[in-house]
Amino acid sequence: MFKRILTEGLGLPTTQHAAALTASSGVIGAILIYAYGGWSELLGLFFLAMAIDYGSGIAASIKEKSGLSSKIGFLGIFKKFLMAVIVVMAHRMDILLGSDLIMNGAICFYLSNELISIAENYGRLGLPMFPKLKEIIQVLKAKGDGSNDKGI
């Protein structure tokens, strides 16, 4: 039945193409499960936040009429790829130590950065934002840039 859905629903010409698609998705799934040790809600939220951040960044660039740059877009995707690689490495370290703290900590760290970036993109889009949230984002950006003059 699944092959019928793939051949008729997706318009794949033969059942061999449908079988190849099924096998490919199985291999990709096995690699992801090995790399991340299974799927969790935290991991799903992390990847969802990465996708929303990328999409909202594109929308903000279009709204600001600053143009889309393939170089900037590639760098954004590459940074997200590196974040995913760090999470994989954190999972491997967790296996060595017999815990799950390092991977979850890495995901929470990068997830917080993604959520801040999404909020910044929403601000660039002109969507309403709580004044306190704007203030927190400005403080976090200043600390990240090293431009905070309070020495914190």
Domain-by-domain residue ranges, the chain?
A: 1-36, 38-145
Burial 45-62, CB ≥16 within 10 A → b, else e: ebbebbebbbebbeebbe
Q: C-alpha angle 116/38/112, rounded to 5°?
A: 10
Mean pLDDT of 120-134: 84
Residue 128 has a pLDDT of 84
Burial 89-122 (b: 16+ CB within 10 A, else e): ebbeebeeeeeeebbbebbeebbebbebbbbbbb
Count Cα atoms within 13 angstroms, Cβ side, for 72. Answer: 8
**145: confidence class by pLDDT, cuts 50, 70, 90:** low
Predicted pLDDT at 9: 61
User: For 1-10, 40-49, 71-80, 121-130, which range has the lowest pLDDT when averaged over its residues?
Assistant: 1-10
Which tens digits make up the pLDDT trace of 22-67? 788 888 878 878 788 888 899 999 999 999 999 999 999 999 888 7
What percent of the chain has a predicted confidence (pLDDT) above 70?
81
Greatest Cα pair distance, the chain, in angstroms, is 66
Residue carrying structure tokens 């600001």:
64
State what percent of residues in the chain have pLDDT above 90. 36
Q: For residue 148, what pLDDT is reported?
A: 45
pLDDT at 21: 72
